[in-house]
Structure 1
Amino acid sequence: MLTRKNSIEGKLHYGDFAGIFDDVDPDAAAKLSLIAGDICLVLDLSGRIVGGSADPKQFPELESWIGQDWQDTITVESRPKVMELMGGAREGKAQSWRQINHAAAGADIPVRYAIVTIEGCDRCLALGRDMREEAALQQRFLQAQQALERDYMRLRQAENRYRNLFEHMAEAVLMVEADTYRIREANPAAHKAFDAKPGSLSGGKLPGLFARSSRDALVAYLGSVVATASVAPLTLPTADGEAELTMRATSFRQRGKQFLLVRMNTGKNLDGDVAAPLLDVVRHMPDAFVLTDQHWNIVLANSEFADLIGAASVEQLIGQAVSEYVGRPGIDIDLIRGQLAKHAVARNVSTVVGATDAHGGEPVELSAVQTGDNEPFFGLVIRPVGRRMRDLPRADTESPRSVEQLTEMVGRMSLKEIVRETSDLIERLCIEEALKHTSNNRASAAEILGLSRQSLYSKLHRHGLGNFVAEED
């Protein structure tokens, strides 16, 4: 169906045509047709192109079109439109603009055409307007719209994921306005912690959920959270006095407004009456202790661990990756993880804490265990061994005394140095075995080993097996 937009039907006429166009010469008519469009095709009533005019830079194929049927120069989907335009021209109907796509070597050329018939003449004019700029603009608009739709879908998917996480978290979580302390959102765990009906916490004030005597401390704590990132957790009694909640809060901005993410833990996720004593034992352990989640992020640590790595407080470690403080990068944690996956326990693993590019770290001994569920937690007990190693009497030689000591050098020494230490170890073990086999007869031991007595005495001295003076042969 022909669109009536931009049709000449229904438009006001010039008035007295005779007074305007009677004296128009052919050159003026040609100029008028060229100005009316970017391309002008002269057609006979059968639809064959007998002439045309256009900018050769914009329409380089125009010369090859002359003499062809108009339908042979366009794409397949545009042919019904050309037939409709030519049929209307033969019947003298009012013309409307139709977009026709010309087939070109590079890309199709979109042109909007309208046909002007000449009374008493077997030819007509197809005036066209180049639509490539409009098509490019439409394509950019379509791409922008598609990009917006993709971003919207990603946003909806992310919102669904985080909403699902928020609703199913075992920890009580509240979204609070920082200036008014009004609760914007609360998850089901928060309603359960305060023994409230579902949905009743939204719109209320956070201080009203706690005992009146502790509200000043709560307001001071929330103010500190807005000012700084590292604030120790705060434990407060609820308004009904039935429980105490340990609160951790962080601040964030959204649309120019400050909000607080408040997380609360009652300790009831542990086994009833043993929760408090167990946590107290962990805090007062003489060895450093760390509890991590399945991603090896710290969820609990004692003060001994904070002292060991030089942290200001335990609270600032919560949520941090344990690999930032324990083990050589890319080595020890992967080794411990492999042992836990195979045996569910790792015992007396030699590693370091506080390792950097410029510092090798403090030697420690680590034991680890994991829980058996699908999302395991990992418990690490860490004991410093640097002081204990310094207190041991210094050996006469720096060579390793066993294969176990050699394997402990992996990661601390280069392979070349380890191979050199290995050859010294094998040499010393062979000499010891030869002396044992010959009842400490050095001459016989030298013969068994294929050495001269002078060489044997030198090696005995180097390995610290005896400070012997070589005998004359």
Structure 2
Amino acid sequence: MQIFKSPTESLGDLGAQSVAGLIAAATDVAVVVDGQGVIRDVAFNKDELSLELDGHGRWLGASFAETVTPDTRAKVGELLRDAVAKKSSGWRQLNHPSPAGQDIPVSYSAINIGRDDRFVVVGRDLRQLQAMQQRLIAAQQSMERDYIRLRHAETRYRLLFQVSSEAVIMIDAQSQAIIDANPAALALFDESAPQLLRSTFASHFDAVDTAAIQNLLAEVRATGRDNSVRAHLARDRRECGLAVSLFRQERASLFMIRLSSRQPLLDAVALKATALLLRYFEVAPDGMVITQHDGQVIKANQSFLEMAQLTHEEQARGGNLDRWLGRTGADLGVVLASLRQSGSVKLFATLLRGAYGATAEVELSAIALSDGDRQDLGFAIRNVEKRLSAVTPSARELPRSVAQLTEMIGRVPLRDLVRETTDVIEKLSIEAVLELTGGNRASAADMLGLSRQSLYVKLRRFGLAEHAVGEEDNDNDE
């Protein structure tokens, strides 16, 4: 606290009456208390405050602490102790009970006037400040409620903007740069959001229509009235209708442009056929999958989800088919290479791995689906486990045909596959020689360059001789 530098010279020798008037005029309430905190005198600057706090003169002779509410009585002792130690205390808010029922807040400071048994406690009525604070809080709460309502409204309109089937674009009226576009507009221009948002609106249309578009935007900006024009897309020369509206947002002018593309209308028969095809795709007993050119899944039907042990299509969409099909990085690569070369793959034998470790023998057929510059792939996957023998052949059992041997590729190690191939060739050679010699084993052994005993061993091994012992005695040696 800073006091007068020369009070005697500037204020003179003021009497007690002058000081009392000065204190009463400078504060809303002033109380003189003794060392025990008992009120010895009191003064009010406002009559209404005097009536509310001391209407019946009950403060004189009462303890100052008894005039405040119980929750603020401890602050009275702190005021007086600070006044003794520091000559004056800091400001503390005390609340006085009011006959009207609402407490009256008053900010007090105690001043030591130089006598050990006397303190002057001056106070300022805080009701006006409290009312302003309450109004400020109410205004803040009202702003928060308005902000929440605006956020909800923005969320609803943003959702409507995103799900609308009509292409809508927002562009800056000054620079004509695209600042926002909904998914329908991205699909119409066949662009991604980052690429579209970095470009000017007119650059996506044919150069012949650029002047008409510029004139339309200038007219709408000058008049403020909605208008429309027709123009052709630069990508595929498709004709579009442009409906332009002007609005202001945060001191900036923006154009909202709605685009409608003329598409050939399908007749009822074509629509019905399309619906049936879509229905077949969904309920087909075979797994049906549409992927991008690199095998990334776009759409899959329920049968594929069941084979892959998935519950929702979203679990498959965006993933690579290689996660579930055949040996990772091998089988799908072979299929994709064949599709790029010939455009189709038929009855490719492979495995389908489920998300929880289950495997199934499947046949895969695929075809390339071209749409302009874009190429997608269609896969049909059929579970063929029921076609396979329930008994797994032993390691020594030989395949009955070359086709059976081919099916083993990718399922057994190369070493075993080579051994099986050699056995097949040996068996086929022995059968051919026996047919040529009319069953004469001695002549067959000579043609094959084998001893008779070696030939008999191989006959028994391949199951071509009914008797393993004594066959040599039954043969003719001509």
TM-score of the two chains, using structure 2 as the length reference? 0.49
- In our comparison, the structure showing a higher alpha carbon Rg is 2
TM-score of the two chains, using structure 1 as the length reference? 0.50
